[in-house]
Amino acid sequence: MSTDKIREILTSHGRLTESVDNLKDDSDLYQAGLTSLATVGLMLALEDEFDIEFPDSVLSRKTFGSINSIADTIEDLTD
Amino acid sequence: MQKNASVQHTQFEELLQKVHAVGKETIANHASDVDEKARFPQESIEALKSLNLMSAYVPVEYGGMGLDIEQVGKICHILGHYCGSTAMIFAMHKIQVACVVHHCLTVEYFKNFAKRLVSEQLLIASATTEIGIGGDLLSSFCCVEAHDNEFDLTKKAPVISYGEYADALLITARRSADAAKSDQVGVLLNKDQYSLEPISDWDTLGFRGTCSSGFVVTGKADIEQIMPIPFTDALSQTMHPYSHVVWASLWSGIAASAVGKARSYVKNAVRKNPTAPPISSIRLGEVDTALTTMKNNVAASTKEYADLLNANNPDAFSNFSFATRINNLKISSSQLLIDIVGKSMMICGIASYRNQSELSLARHIRDAYGASLMVNNDRIMMHNSTLVLMHKE
Ligand SMILES: Cc1cc2nc3c(=O)[nH]c(=O)nc-3n(C[C@H](O)[C@H](O)[C@H](O)COP(=O)(O)OP(=O)(O)OC[C@H]3O[C@@H](n4cnc5c(N)ncnc54)[C@H](O)[C@@H]3O)c2cc1C
């Protein structure tokens, strides 16, 4: 899937210390300044945008750890 | 990730009897003196070494006992009965051992270290807390400065339990000078590779025998001594769950010891007046309920963690609801500890308030208040307050 939408949401909700444009799809978002509080906002925004609900089993640091893993998870959920 | 298989049941029961024996014969005898003088419980740690307990969590193939987390928790619980500081030292040591065992046994240096843990019964301390950062384990100021095959490291650590008495030190630091503060590694240094410059003493309310003074640590070591995984992974898979499990286990031992004193007080009262049960027997029933809750919490979380270790799926540890439950164990156990010791004092009355008395709970209550501060409960609650928003039942 295209990661543009995810990048947009990361920009508005991720409160990262680095610009999202400088991040690669596999960059570690926690190292880019993603906090647990920001993860909540990010999750809610992703759920609204993609009309999905993240089940408990995927709610982990790993899921929100990179743009790729967010994209993979969303793909699995929308299949 | 490496994990231990459980040791045979009868063998382990025998070991527990031995732990009780050194608890009664050695550890309990020195507990007051250790507490009064805020000194290192040398005799007690020696006694644990005589049972080879410093390497209890080291896998059998390296010569250790290969105990699992549930078994280590049981030992912590027993030690908590006899001396909170000794139990805390043992528990903290085991956290560092677990980091080595779970994550580092692919590296030659750590393999040898595991063998030395067995043959020399080494004691490992930890310097995670840093001046200017406080209890936020996921950030460091200090960094590893690598050149060729070596690195230098200087850390201002305000609290290093038994730092002066340890044989090795596990330190967290940023990966390099230009790494983000969350991009951390753990390094394990031997005593002859670092110096400790004292910056604060440890004259505290409780856990006085942990001798958790502050130091500037200056060290130089081989790059092989850097743990081979990012510290965040070691934290989520080991340090965070393991520490809360072993801490809560030993706190439940302190709580059980307090309830034991309360029970003996009430028994005495019943002996004196067998026809009318004293009001304190109701209080005893009440405090026993709280203790059961505490023990059940510990057992449930320990089992959940043990199951995850057995499943050997490293990703499962970063699940937010697991982290929340482990945090809840820490918060509730540290609160229940104060509650249970306080209720036991209500039962034993002034005898428990005296420093010198069979029923004294003075050390217990002072130790109890440390539990909610070591990684501040409010910091943990703040973390949970965001995690619970994501939770789906
Ligand atoms: C008996 C004992 C032994 C210890 N042994 C060791 C050891 O061997 N090695 C080691 O490294 N450390 C050790 N520690 C330190 C311990 O792990 C904590 O890191 C330390 O106590 C935290 O210090 P603090 O209270 O100054 O900081 P903080 O955790 O920063 O807390 C200070 C205050 O700030 C608030 N606060 C700060 N940040 C937040 C936040 N994000 N959210 C919510 N509240 C916040 C807290 O609620 C609290 O009011 C030990 C502590 C004890 C009590």
* Cβ–Cβ under 8 Å, residues B371 and B329: no
Which segments in chain B show pLDDT lower than 50?
none
Ligand 1 pocket, residues with Cβ under 6 angstroms: B 92, 125-129, 134-135, 157, 159-161, 207, 210, 212, 370, 373-376, 378-379, 382
State the closest ligand 1 atom to the C-alpha of B92, by its place in the atom list counted from 1: 8
pLDDT surpasses 90 at A35: no
Identify the CATH class of B9-122.
Answer: mainly alpha
Contact between B180 and A33 using a beta-carbon 8 Å cutoff: yes
Quick one: B231-390 is in which CATH superfamily?
Answer: Butyryl-CoA Dehydrogenase, subunit A, domain 3 (1.20.140.10)
Q: With b meaning 16 or more CB within 10 Å and e meaning fewer, what string describes B197-212?
A: eeeeebebebbbbbbb
With contacts defined as CB-CB under 8 Å, which chain A residues touch B392?
A: 53-56, 59
pTM of the model: 0.94
pLDDT in tens, B322-376: 999 999 999 999 999 999 999 999 999 999 999 999 999 999 999 999 999 999 9
Residue B74: predicted pLDDT = 98
Contact between A36 and B315 using a beta-carbon 8 Å cutoff: no
Single-letter amino acid code for the residue at B313 = N
Q: Is B387 on the interface with A (CB under 8 A)?
A: yes
Chain centroid to CA B73: 9
CATH of span B126-225: 2.40.110.10
Domain ranges of chain B: 9-122, 126-225, 231-390
Answer with the residue of higher pLDDT: B54 or A31: B54
Domain annotation for chain A: domains and CATH numbers: 4-78 (1.10.1200.10)
Which of A34, A61, A77 is the best residue to mutate to test the B interface, defined by the most B CB atoms within 10 Å of its own CB? A61
Q: Is A53 on the interface with B (CB under 8 A)?
A: yes
Chain centroid to CA B319: 23
Q: What percent of chain A has pLDDT over 90?
A: 72
Spacing, Cα B166 to ligand 1 middle (Å): 21
- Across the range A14-32, mean pLDDT stands at 91
* Cβ–Cβ under 8 Å, residues B333 and B245: no
Q: With b meaning 16 or more CB within 10 Å and e meaning fewer, what string describes B249-270?
A: bbbbbbbbbbbebbbebbeebe
Contact between B319 and A53 using a beta-carbon 8 Å cutoff: no
Residue A32: predicted pLDDT = 87
Average confidence score pLDDT of chain A: 91
Which residue of chain A comes nearest to B383, CA vs CA? A36
Residue A2: predicted pLDDT = 79
